[in-house]
Amino acid sequence: MTFPASKQAIFASLRWRRRWLLLALLCCCLGNAHAARSLCQAPPWPQWEAFKTSFISQDGRVIDRSTPQQQTVSEGQAYALFFALVANDRPAFARILKWTEDNLAGGDLTARLPAWHWGKKDNGSWGVLDANPASDADLWLVYALGEAGRLWQERRYVALSSLLANRTLAEETANLPGLGLTLLPAPHGFHLGQSVWRLNPSYLPMQLFDWLGSRSSDARWRALAASSLRVLLESAPRGYAPDWILYEAGKGFRIDHDGEGNGKGGYNAIRVYLWVGMLPPESAARTRLLTAFAPMSDFVARHGYPPEQIDIHTGRANGPGPSGFSAALLPFLSVQNNTAALNTQIDRIITRPPRADAYYEQALMLFALGWRDGHYRFAKDGSLQPSWKITCNHA
């Protein structure tokens, strides 16, 4: 993806949206409902088209070309489904879903959660490298399918979303003493002993739990929302989210000195600020989370960049993070009203755009710019509000 060469170009897609809304308004004024319905398409989203070209194969696989294994992760497939829905790109959505089911779920998503890791094996063949699912990908998959079913009136997607949601509850949660029902990163490997679990705060977008709680009568989703908010707040005592954190019964949260992360926040944690920044103003958790993570906004204002890694207790950082981190922070800095830091990050992205083959950075960019450019919002109940649907409703 080639990033625009000026601030004006960064948000050029806004001009397309204004033209689109004017066209829809003209149709309404003419009183021609049929003509208005014919305009119910998604406004142009050049960044999505570029992402598809760079990272998504013709058969629907999201490829991280920066890795030797040319890997695909379930998170990437789920993100791409979300982007396709925001873009009202039904053909791409269907291809991405089919590849996911055929290759990550053994051909049947009604029977199992998708494996998280697929790519080139040491013997040169291609296939699943790690069959353990990843709960963040599964939540986004459930969400994208459920909202696609609602927005496109596809009952099959709604039913599949419901099945995967139930399987997520059954396989990727546990009752942690003192914390309650909690989302685990995966079905296997994160219960480290009788009373210790490893958790990942970036797997917990509160808007998705709001949506799940509003769509289901199962009280477990509301329990997960409560524990997820506690994980986000209590694992970041100085306002810096960790990549990974341990929870021990009777003792609470503590640094995972022996595992991945080791008390640092970096490539996983950057998503915490992204999800928080995109919460709707009506969200019950928004004010608490924005206040809790304000130190990251202050850090960026002081240094001019987000850290690649930061010690969650001391605030010491190891240097600048990649430009994709700057992109991920745009919604967060915007709603924090930190205008100086926001403009600095825009300038940084223009000066040092993310590498063309950096799948993760480009995905962060697509989330952030799609939100900032108005291609989508989240409602109070977590439901998706894509710009194409708003246009159609007004038409």
Residue 235: predicted pLDDT: 97
Residue 2: predicted pLDDT: 34
Asked whether residue 311 carries a pLDDT value surpassing 60, the answer given is: yes
Query: Looking up tokens 């049929």, which residue turns up?
Result: 34
Q: How many residues does the chain have?
A: 395
Quick: pLDDT tens for 139-179: 999 999 999 999 999 999 999 999 999 999 999 999 999 99
Asked whether residue 198 carries a pLDDT value surpassing 70, the answer given is: yes
Distance CA 328, CA 375 (A): 16
Residue 207: predicted pLDDT: 98
Residue 40: predicted pLDDT: 63
Asked whether residue 388 carries a pLDDT value surpassing 60, the answer given is: yes
Quick: pLDDT tens for 259-281: 767 899 999 999 999 999 999 99
Q: Is 75 a catalytic residue?
A: yes
Q: Which of 215, 236, 336 is nearest to 276 (CA)?
A: 336
Distance CA 179, CA 309 (A): 27
Q: Do residues 53 and 353 touch, judged by C-beta distance below 8 A? A: no
Give the pLDDT mean for 28-40: 38
Residue 389: predicted pLDDT: 87
**Six-digit token string for 302:** 């002081």
Asked whether residue 16 carries a pLDDT value surpassing 50, the answer given is: no
Asked whether residue 32 carries a pLDDT value surpassing 90, the answer given is: no
Give the pLDDT mean for 120-131: 97
Q: What is the pTM of this model?
A: 0.89
**Six-digit token string for 353:** 């755009």
Among 64, 89, 101, 136, which one carries the catalytic annotation?
136
Q: Which of 219, 224, 204, 48 is nearest to 138 (CA)?
A: 204
**Six-digit token string for 65:** 């070309």
Strand pairing category for 173-176 and 180-183: antiparallel
**Six-digit token string for 256:** 């995972």
Distance CA 128, CA 118 (A): 4
Distance CA 312, CA 245 (A): 10
Among 64, 75, 138, 311, which one carries the catalytic annotation?
75
Residue 10: predicted pLDDT: 43
Q: Is 248 a catalytic residue?
A: no
Paired strand residues for 386: 376
Close Cβ partners of 142 (under 8 Å, ≥ 6 residues apart)? 161, 164, 165, 168, 208, 212
Asked whether residue 3 carries a pLDDT value surpassing 50, the answer given is: no
Percent over 70 (pLDDT), the chain: 88
Quick: pLDDT tens for 315-355: 999 999 999 999 999 999 999 999 999 999 999 999 999 99
Give the pLDDT mean for 185-196: 95
